[in-house]
Amino acid sequence: MTAVREAVALPMMFLTVVATAAIRPGANGSIVPPSLASLVGSVALLALLVRSGTVAPAQLVNQRRSMLANLNGLSVLLTMFFASAQLLTALVPESGVPALVAWCVLVSLVMQAFAIAPDRTRLLRGLLVMFGAAFALKFIVLAAISAPAESRITRALQVLFEGITLGAVTQRATHPLEGYFAFGAGALYLIAIWLLPPASWRMIRVSQIELPASSVEVTRES
Protein backbone atom coordinates (compact mmCIF):
# COMPACT_ATOMS: atom_id res chain seq x y z
CA MET A 1 0.00 0.00 0.00
CA THR A 2 1.33 3.43 -0.92
CA ALA A 3 2.02 6.10 1.69
CA VAL A 4 -0.50 8.45 0.05
CA ARG A 5 -3.26 5.90 0.33
CA GLU A 6 -2.47 5.01 3.93
CA ALA A 7 -1.64 8.45 5.31
CA VAL A 8 -4.02 10.69 3.38
CA ALA A 9 -6.63 8.94 1.22
CA LEU A 10 -8.03 6.35 3.62
CA PRO A 11 -8.31 8.56 6.74
CA MET A 12 -9.86 11.35 4.66
CA MET A 13 -12.37 8.94 3.13
CA PHE A 14 -13.35 7.55 6.53
CA LEU A 15 -13.60 11.02 8.09
CA THR A 16 -15.74 12.16 5.16
CA VAL A 17 -18.02 9.20 5.86
CA VAL A 18 -18.27 10.36 9.50
CA ALA A 19 -19.08 13.94 8.49
CA THR A 20 -21.54 13.04 5.74
CA ALA A 21 -23.40 10.40 7.74
CA ALA A 22 -23.71 12.74 10.74
CA ILE A 23 -25.51 15.56 8.93
CA ARG A 24 -29.28 15.78 9.40
CA PRO A 25 -30.28 18.63 7.07
CA GLY A 26 -33.52 20.56 7.44
CA ALA A 27 -35.05 23.49 9.29
CA ASN A 28 -33.88 22.07 12.62
CA GLY A 29 -30.67 20.67 11.18
CA SER A 30 -28.24 18.95 13.47
CA ILE A 31 -25.01 16.97 13.54
CA VAL A 32 -25.72 13.62 15.15
CA PRO A 33 -22.83 11.77 16.83
CA PRO A 34 -22.70 7.96 16.70
CA SER A 35 -25.02 6.22 19.16
CA LEU A 36 -23.64 3.98 21.92
CA ALA A 37 -25.23 0.91 20.31
CA SER A 38 -23.53 1.70 17.01
CA LEU A 39 -20.15 1.98 18.77
CA VAL A 40 -20.62 -1.58 20.04
CA GLY A 41 -21.79 -2.64 16.57
CA SER A 42 -18.69 -1.03 15.09
CA VAL A 43 -16.43 -3.11 17.36
CA ALA A 44 -18.12 -6.29 16.10
CA LEU A 45 -17.86 -5.09 12.50
CA LEU A 46 -14.17 -4.37 12.91
CA ALA A 47 -13.57 -7.81 14.41
CA LEU A 48 -15.36 -9.27 11.41
CA LEU A 49 -13.24 -7.27 8.97
CA VAL A 50 -10.04 -8.46 10.65
CA ARG A 51 -11.16 -12.07 10.87
CA SER A 52 -12.14 -12.21 7.21
CA GLY A 53 -8.77 -10.80 6.16
CA THR A 54 -10.38 -7.66 4.74
CA VAL A 55 -7.97 -5.57 6.77
CA ALA A 56 -4.69 -6.66 8.29
CA PRO A 57 -3.97 -4.47 11.35
CA ALA A 58 -0.45 -5.95 11.53
CA GLN A 59 0.33 -4.32 8.19
CA LEU A 60 -0.76 -0.94 9.51
CA VAL A 61 0.81 -1.03 12.96
CA ASN A 62 3.85 -3.16 13.82
CA GLN A 63 7.27 -2.93 15.45
CA ARG A 64 9.22 -2.82 12.18
CA ARG A 65 7.56 0.38 11.01
CA SER A 66 8.59 3.90 11.98
CA MET A 67 6.61 5.80 14.59
CA LEU A 68 5.18 8.11 11.93
CA ALA A 69 4.05 5.17 9.79
CA ASN A 70 2.48 3.53 12.83
CA LEU A 71 0.68 6.80 13.58
CA ASN A 72 -0.75 6.78 10.05
CA GLY A 73 -1.79 3.14 10.44
CA LEU A 74 -3.44 3.88 13.76
CA SER A 75 -5.32 6.81 12.26
CA VAL A 76 -6.66 4.48 9.53
CA LEU A 77 -7.93 2.02 12.14
CA LEU A 78 -9.44 4.72 14.37
CA THR A 79 -11.15 6.59 11.56
CA MET A 80 -12.46 3.27 10.20
CA PHE A 81 -13.95 2.51 13.62
CA PHE A 82 -15.74 5.86 13.85
CA ALA A 83 -16.88 5.69 10.22
CA SER A 84 -18.41 2.25 10.85
CA ALA A 85 -20.21 3.52 13.96
CA GLN A 86 -21.45 6.67 12.23
CA LEU A 87 -22.70 4.75 9.21
CA LEU A 88 -24.61 2.31 11.44
CA THR A 89 -26.21 5.28 13.24
CA ALA A 90 -27.21 6.79 9.90
CA LEU A 91 -28.65 3.60 8.38
CA VAL A 92 -30.54 2.13 11.33
CA PRO A 93 -34.02 3.63 11.98
CA GLU A 94 -34.04 6.03 14.92
CA SER A 95 -36.98 4.93 17.03
CA GLY A 96 -39.83 2.53 17.64
CA VAL A 97 -40.32 -0.99 16.34
CA PRO A 98 -38.27 -0.45 13.14
CA ALA A 99 -35.19 0.42 15.23
CA LEU A 100 -35.64 -2.69 17.36
CA VAL A 101 -36.18 -4.95 14.34
CA ALA A 102 -33.26 -3.43 12.43
CA TRP A 103 -30.87 -3.91 15.36
CA CYS A 104 -32.06 -7.52 15.86
CA VAL A 105 -31.52 -8.28 12.15
CA LEU A 106 -28.16 -6.51 12.15
CA VAL A 107 -26.90 -8.44 15.19
CA SER A 108 -28.14 -11.69 13.65
CA LEU A 109 -26.34 -10.95 10.38
CA VAL A 110 -23.09 -10.13 12.15
CA MET A 111 -23.30 -13.29 14.28
CA GLN A 112 -24.08 -15.31 11.17
CA ALA A 113 -21.04 -13.80 9.47
CA PHE A 114 -18.88 -14.83 12.42
CA ALA A 115 -20.24 -18.38 12.16
CA ILE A 116 -19.77 -18.62 8.38
CA ALA A 117 -16.30 -17.01 8.51
CA PRO A 118 -16.49 -15.43 5.05
CA ASP A 119 -13.41 -14.39 3.10
CA ARG A 120 -12.74 -10.79 1.99
CA THR A 121 -14.80 -10.85 -1.20
CA ARG A 122 -17.80 -12.53 0.39
CA LEU A 123 -17.76 -10.19 3.38
CA LEU A 124 -17.68 -7.13 1.13
CA ARG A 125 -20.64 -8.51 -0.82
CA GLY A 126 -22.41 -9.22 2.47
CA LEU A 127 -21.80 -5.67 3.73
CA LEU A 128 -23.09 -4.26 0.45
CA VAL A 129 -26.33 -6.21 0.81
CA MET A 130 -26.67 -5.42 4.52
CA PHE A 131 -26.14 -1.68 4.12
CA GLY A 132 -28.27 -1.63 0.97
CA ALA A 133 -31.18 -3.33 2.73
CA ALA A 134 -30.89 -1.00 5.75
CA PHE A 135 -30.79 2.02 3.44
CA ALA A 136 -33.86 0.87 1.51
CA LEU A 137 -35.78 0.21 4.73
CA LYS A 138 -35.02 3.58 6.31
CA PHE A 139 -34.85 6.00 3.40
CA ILE A 140 -37.38 4.44 1.02
CA VAL A 141 -39.95 2.38 2.93
CA LEU A 142 -40.09 4.14 6.30
CA ALA A 143 -39.51 7.58 4.74
CA ALA A 144 -42.55 7.02 2.49
CA ILE A 145 -44.70 6.06 5.49
CA SER A 146 -43.49 8.96 7.63
CA ALA A 147 -43.38 11.72 4.99
CA PRO A 148 -45.86 14.60 5.44
CA ALA A 149 -49.06 13.80 3.54
CA GLU A 150 -49.83 15.88 0.47
CA SER A 151 -53.53 15.06 0.19
CA ARG A 152 -56.32 14.56 2.69
CA ILE A 153 -56.78 10.89 1.73
CA THR A 154 -53.09 10.18 2.28
CA ARG A 155 -53.23 12.01 5.60
CA ALA A 156 -56.28 10.01 6.64
CA LEU A 157 -54.52 6.74 5.73
CA GLN A 158 -51.46 7.84 7.69
CA VAL A 159 -53.55 8.66 10.75
CA LEU A 160 -55.27 5.27 10.43
CA PHE A 161 -51.90 3.51 10.13
CA GLU A 162 -50.51 5.40 13.12
CA GLY A 163 -53.60 4.47 15.10
CA ILE A 164 -53.31 0.78 14.26
CA THR A 165 -49.58 0.64 15.04
CA LEU A 166 -49.92 2.99 18.07
CA GLY A 167 -47.37 5.27 16.41
CA ALA A 168 -44.61 2.69 16.91
CA VAL A 169 -43.62 2.50 13.24
CA THR A 170 -43.71 6.12 12.07
CA GLN A 171 -40.32 7.83 12.08
CA ARG A 172 -39.08 11.41 12.03
CA ALA A 173 -39.77 12.83 8.56
CA THR A 174 -36.39 12.98 6.84
CA HIS A 175 -35.16 15.80 4.63
CA PRO A 176 -34.74 14.61 0.99
CA LEU A 177 -31.02 15.38 1.13
CA GLU A 178 -30.48 13.07 4.10
CA GLY A 179 -30.97 9.96 1.97
CA TYR A 180 -28.45 11.17 -0.59
CA PHE A 181 -25.92 11.91 2.17
CA ALA A 182 -26.41 8.43 3.64
CA PHE A 183 -26.12 6.79 0.22
CA GLY A 184 -22.90 8.68 -0.51
CA ALA A 185 -21.48 7.83 2.90
CA GLY A 186 -22.30 4.13 2.44
CA ALA A 187 -20.73 3.99 -1.01
CA LEU A 188 -17.60 5.82 0.14
CA TYR A 189 -17.29 3.54 3.17
CA LEU A 190 -17.40 0.39 1.04
CA ILE A 191 -14.83 1.82 -1.39
CA ALA A 192 -12.54 2.71 1.52
CA ILE A 193 -12.93 -0.78 3.02
CA TRP A 194 -12.05 -2.26 -0.37
CA LEU A 195 -8.90 -0.11 -0.47
CA LEU A 196 -7.68 -1.35 2.94
CA PRO A 197 -4.57 -3.54 2.97
CA PRO A 198 -5.84 -7.15 2.97
CA ALA A 199 -4.31 -9.93 5.03
CA SER A 200 -1.55 -11.90 3.30
CA TRP A 201 -3.37 -15.15 4.05
CA ARG A 202 -6.51 -16.20 2.21
CA MET A 203 -9.27 -18.59 3.20
CA ILE A 204 -10.02 -21.22 0.55
CA ARG A 205 -12.19 -24.34 0.57
CA VAL A 206 -10.36 -27.64 1.03
CA SER A 207 -12.12 -28.98 -2.05
CA GLN A 208 -10.43 -26.25 -4.13
CA ILE A 209 -6.89 -27.25 -3.11
CA GLU A 210 -5.10 -29.13 -5.85
CA LEU A 211 -2.98 -31.60 -3.99
CA PRO A 212 -0.31 -33.58 -5.84
CA ALA A 213 -1.37 -37.16 -6.54
CA SER A 214 1.43 -38.59 -4.37
CA SER A 215 0.30 -36.67 -1.27
CA VAL A 216 -3.23 -37.91 -1.78
CA GLU A 217 -1.91 -41.43 -1.86
CA VAL A 218 0.08 -40.90 1.32
CA THR A 219 -2.99 -39.56 3.04
CA ARG A 220 -4.95 -42.60 2.04
CA GLU A 221 -2.28 -45.00 3.28
CA SER A 222 -2.00 -43.26 6.62
**Could you give the string, one character per residue 61-80, with x where binding to another protein holds by CB under 8 A and - elsewhere?**
-------xx-xx--x---x-
Using CA atoms, how far apart are residues 200 and 207, in angstroms rounded to an integer?
A: 21
Using CA atoms, how far apart are residues 80 and 124, in angstroms rounded to an integer?
A: 15
Using CA atoms, how far apart are residues 14 and 112, in angstroms rounded to an integer?
A: 26
Q: Do residues 120 and 198 touch, judged by C-beta distance below 8 A?
A: yes
Residues 199-218 that bind another protein (CB under 8 A): none
54 binds another protein (CB under 8 A): no
Using CA atoms, how far apart are residues 196 and 80, in angstroms rounded to an integer?
A: 10
* Residue from 31, 153, 206, 209 binding another protein (CB under 8 A): 31
Least distance between another protein and beta carbon 31 (Å):
5
Using CA atoms, how far apart are residues 117 and 202, in angstroms rounded to an integer?
A: 12
Least distance between another protein and beta carbon 192 (Å):
14
The interface region with another protein, picked from 8-16, 104-112, 114-122, 149-157 by CB under 8 A, is 8-16
3-class secondary-structure state, position 189: helix
3-class secondary-structure state, position 31: strand
| Closer Cβ to another protein, 83 or 169, answer by number | 83
Q: Site residues (CB under 8 A) for another protein? A: 3-4, 6-8, 11-12, 15, 18-19, 22, 28-31, 33, 68-69, 71-72, 75, 79
